[in-house]
């Protein structure tokens, strides 16, 4: 029978790569969006243009989250 400590350490070890991916994604997407805002010409963009900068990465992140959740539930 595994102890609670072993289970907790295993869960934390599994969560670290996901947390790193999440942090890297947030930093890169915010940097990309900041670059988009700073370098844009004097034009007012529609909300969908602003959303299109962050949406593809967000969809990938949600897909990865779903895949991780399914793998944890199927263990």
> pLDDT for 16-40, tens place per residue?
887 788 788 888 888 888 887 888 7
Q: pTM of this prediction?
A: 0.54
| Phi/psi at 47 (5° precision) | -60, -30
2-17, pLDDT tens digit by residue? 677 777 777 777 778 8
Chain Cα centroid distance, residue 38:
23
Domain ranges of the chain: 16-73
Burial class (CB within 10 angstroms; exposed 0-12, middle 13-18, buried 19+) of 10: exposed
Cβ pair 68, 18 in contact under 8 A: yes
Dihedral over Cα of 55, 63, 15, 17: its sign: negative
Map tokens 């010409």 to a residue.
41
């Amino acid at each position: 029978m595994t102890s609670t400590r072993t289970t907790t350490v295993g869960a934390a070890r599994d969560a670290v790569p996901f947390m790193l991916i999440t942090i890297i994604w947030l930093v890169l997407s915010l940097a990309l969006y900041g670059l988009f805002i700073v370098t844009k010409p004097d034009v007012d963009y529609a909300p969908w243009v602003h959303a299109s900068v962050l949406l593809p990465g967000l969809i990938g992140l949600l897909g990865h989250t779903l895949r991780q959740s399914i793998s944890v539930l199927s263990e």
